[in-house]
Amino acid sequence: MTQPQIFSPSTPARPLATTAALASLRVCYASGSAANALDALLAQTDVLAVVGFGDSAPATHGDARYLHVALQPVGAAAFEVWRAQGTVTTARAGELRWASDGDYAFGVIELDEARHGDIDGAAATAYRSLVAWLAASPTPHVLRIWNYLDAINLGNGDAERYRRFCSGRAAGLTPGFVDAYPAATAIGVRDGRRVLQMYWLAARSAGTALENPRQVSAWRYPREYGPHAPNFARAMRAPTPMAQVYISGTAAIVGHRSHHREDVGAQIDETLTNIDSLLAAAHIEPGARFGANCLLKVYVRRDADIAAARAQLAARLPADTPLLLLRGDICRSELLIEIDGIQGV
């Protein structure tokens, strides 16, 4: 019963799940473009994951803990670094790879859409693989997922690639998840590669999914947004003694409608009000919200909006809030910005 689990798609589910509290994952942004900056990070044995953004970050590395994402940062090259407590080991199985210290796992799957039919097929395969991996893993609880895909807004109506991604995700998650979803982000890259990238944070203990009183739960969006509603929670509180909250991609959506078309400043304002409301729902005191312990990623659709976005962020946030601005496309074409992050690092 207590043998370590080794992943294979045919391993029956027997996770060593627990309700024990875990130490908080430590997460930070680091700059530095050269390969030797990455090597220096990966030489640190407590590093669970490094995500490198944009053209000046290395495109690949032999270490399974590294993932390159094609979103271009505004300004200096950027890495996001996750640090764990125990000894980190890595493994690969097919198109899936992961690193874990026993409490947390960083997992990645990258799928060539053409080999899986299309974006729907790739998403279904990715999520089916994730469900199978979780079932066989000592870290069976997925807290947080990031999804990056090319040309997210291409296609009209229900043929839009984001909506088709949602359909594939819904197919792949069934029946593993029913109205109990992880926090998530889904953002468009513009690299023309048509490779679905998905990475996740899983844990030995379950977190607590949170919804936002200002927003309709995404999985209950009405039909007008697509045939399959997006399967994610607005946030996930980690199973840690200190409040640590993984904030899903959040935009200027109130109820289920997009607000403030063509006004990036007002969209940022509404988005930060949404995040504030979410942190209130997580019982984070007003004085503890945002600031130095809250890492935010701000995805900006149009370069012309960057200056206005920066100004509005500066007006609304404590000056010491770590921000990473990335150029990317948001899943509804009228949305100009989206923000995700982690409160309590």
Report the distance separating Cα 178 and Cα 220, nearest Å: 12
Which is nearer to ligand 3EB, 253 or 294 (by Cβ)?
Answer: 253
Q: How far apart are CA 34 and CA 282, in angstroms?
A: 38
Q: CA-to-CA distance for 165 and 150, rounded, in angstroms?
A: 11
Q: How far is the CB of 184 from ligand 3EB (least distance, A)?
A: 4
| Contact assessment for residue 153 and residue 188, using Cβ atoms and an 8 Å cutoff | yes
AA identity, residue 177: F
Beta bridge partners of 104: 203
**Residue 248 C-beta: closest distance to ligand 3EB, Å:** 5
Shortest spacing between CB 335 and ligand 3EB, in angstroms: 7
Q: Which residues bind ligand 3EB (CB under 6 A)?
A: 147, 184-186, 218, 230, 232, 248-249, 251, 253, 331
Alpha-helical segments (H) within the chain:
35-42, 119-135, 161-173, 264-281, 306-316
In the chain, what is the greatest distance between 2 CA atoms, to the nearest angstrom?
58
| 173 versus 253: smaller Cβ distance to ligand 3EB | 253
State the DSSP code for 314: H
Minimum CB separation from ligand 3EB for residue 183, in Å? 8
Q: Which of 110, 113, 160, 338 does the annotation list as catalytic?
A: 338
Query: Which tokens is 341 given?
Result: 């992050």
Q: Which is nearer to ligand 3EB, 244 or 248 (CB)?
A: 248
Residue nearest to ligand 3EB (CB): 249
Using the CB atoms, write b or e for 78-102: b if 16+ within 10 Å: bbbbbbbbeebeeeeeeebbbbbbb
User: Is-catalytic flag, 338?
Assistant: yes
Report the C-alpha gap between 306 and 271 in whole angstroms. Answer: 16
Alpha carbons 207 and 301: distance in angstroms, whole number: 31
Nearer to ligand 3EB, 140 or 230 (CB): 230
Of the CA atoms within 13 Å of residue 208, those in its CB half-sphere come to 14
Nearer to ligand 3EB, 118 or 211 (CB): 211
- In angstroms, what is the minimal distance from the CB of 285 to ligand 3EB? 25
**Pick 7 or 221: Cβ nearer ligand 3EB:** 221
Bond before 175 cis per omega within 30 degrees:
yes
Q: Shortest distance, CB of residue 187 to ligand 3EB, whole angstroms?
A: 8
Nearer to ligand 3EB, 1 or 159 (CB): 159
Neighbour tally for 342: CB within 10 Å:
27
- Spell out where the chain has E strands: 26-31, 47-53, 66-69, 72-73, 78-83, 89-93, 96-100, 104-112, 141-150, 183-189, 195-203, 208-210, 235-237, 245-250, 253-254, 257-258, 294-300, 323-327, 337-343
- Least Å distance between CB 330 and ligand 3EB? 7
User: Which residues belong to the active site?
Assistant: 338
